[in-house]
Chain A
Amino acid sequence: MIIQVKINGIDKEWDVDPGMILLDLLRDKGYKSIKRGCDEGYCGACTILLDGQAAKSCVMLAGQAHKRSITTVEGLGTMDEPHLLQKTFVEHGAVQCGYCIPGMLLSSKALLDENPNPTEDDVKEAIDGNLCRCTGYVKQIEAVLDTASIMRGEN
């Protein structure tokens, strides 16, 4: 069946098997920033933004995305012009193997979009669905808080 999706601001019409897992569909379509981790909704490597809210694409069917807007890291920034969150993550050394980072960035973006002044607890709650098995979470939390303060013009 045909589904219409707005992905990273661009309208697409895809002929899909509606029972396909959304994660598989998006990776097939070339959005490789989205990672497959646990495949059952725990790890958050497959996180996307669905209508601006973080969601796990490994427990969604392709048909559920019809007429909804999706953001992936491809829509966040580029190598030459990274999003402030990406820049700050790098500066804080918040990335080791990098596998969890796309999901982490999107969960953090969803938080900052609705709350420009988050507390440490707000950040922890926002990324509670994104498991990191390398560094722990301290650097990522610092990076998100730092991004928020830069966005507020304080740094």
Chain B
Amino acid sequence: MNNLKEFYYPENIAEAQKLLRDESVKKAIIAGGTSVALLNTGSVEGMVDITRMGLNYIKQDGGFVKIGATAVVEELARSPITKNLANGILAKASSEIASRPLRNMITMGGNIVQLRIWSDLPVVLLALDGQIKVQGDEERTIPADDFFREQPLKTLAHFDIVKEVVLPKTPETSGAEFIKLSKTKGDYAIMSLACYLEFEEKTCTLARIALSSVTPLPRRCKKAEKVLEGKQLTPELIAEAAAVTREKTKTISNIWGSAEYKSVVLENLVKKSLLSCADKAGIQI
């Protein structure tokens, strides 16, 4: 950060946006800082620290859980609110990010606005039908499916502020699972996935299967979801959904795993994850 001359500490969103709209000084947003601090860039002259704007809440509001953009992932891992939401998969995913001192710094917003190898939370938002509230000229609410279609930083305006993530509460007759495959608990994911199933009686009425680190950006596999929806689940049907996920997912290679390896493991993890969702929903298969 060789040209950085000034830090700004706005106390609210309006103040932050005013700073960001003024382009006489080239500014960037910082929250936890863990991915920004080491950027060796000479282009940023001012840093807008958004951690002092009261956006670090985790709260229940009617049928929704609302999470401020600067809530740190350690809080997400511990909060009784996140632990009680959708079998605690957001808490679980958060607890497996990096290490304790970094979890104290890394924020919800930071983990989702740039989709990098360490972004484990987007799959959870995709599986739980999350929405992202962004303040631009006006406030807009973007479904996770759309938010993650491209790198969010490419689609957000320079004065946009991601302010909140909203997750609907899940019914009793549902089950969710998050699995991160990595060499050690806090290491970057070889792959991660989150699944969610909803049932009426014994029929699966809604399925979401979200994958990360196997494709360039986190994605749902809707073709595999369709295999399950409207049917009573059997081991064969779950195996079919896992096989369809593998077939329809063009896996990518990186230093954490080859495309071929990920493809095989993906099928197994989807199967395992779906069985766990059904089990948590109290459905015997």
Contact = CB atoms under 8 A, between A and B. Distances in A.
B4 interface: yes
A60 B100 contact: no
A106 to B, nearest CB: 9
Given A1-B7, A17-B4, A128-B185, A63 B100 contact: no
Most A Cβ at <10 Å: residue of B1, B101, B185, B186: B101
A61 B100 contact: no
Interface string B162-190: 00000000000000000000000110000
Contacts of B185: 128
Contacts of B44: 19
Contacts of A17: 4
A54 B186 CA distance: 16
A37 interface: no
Nearest to A131: B99
Contacts of A40: 38
Contacts, number: 93
B99 A60 contact: no
B186 A19 contact: no
A84 interface: no
B186 A18 contact: no
B38 A59 contact: yes
Given A60-B37, A66-B9, A125 B105 contact: no
Interface in B7-35: 7, 9, 30, 33-34
A70 to B, nearest CB: 13
Contacts of A56: 34, 101-102, 105
B247 interface: no
B6 A21 contact: no
B155 interface: no
A63 B47 contact: yes
B104 interface: yes
Interface string A26-45: 00000000000000110010
B98 interface: yes
B6 A18 contact: yes
A125 to B, nearest CB: 6
Interface of A: 1, 3, 17-21, 40-41, 44, 47, 50, 53-56, 58-61, 63-64, 66-67, 103, 107, 125-130
- Leading 8 A-B pairs by shortest Cβ distance: A129-B99, A19-B4, A19-B1, A63-B7, A54-B101, A129-B101, A53-B104, A18-B7
Given A19-B1, A55-B101, A56-B102, 8 more contacts: A18-B5, A41-B102, A47-B101, A56-B101, A59-B105, A63-B7, A103-B101, A125-B100
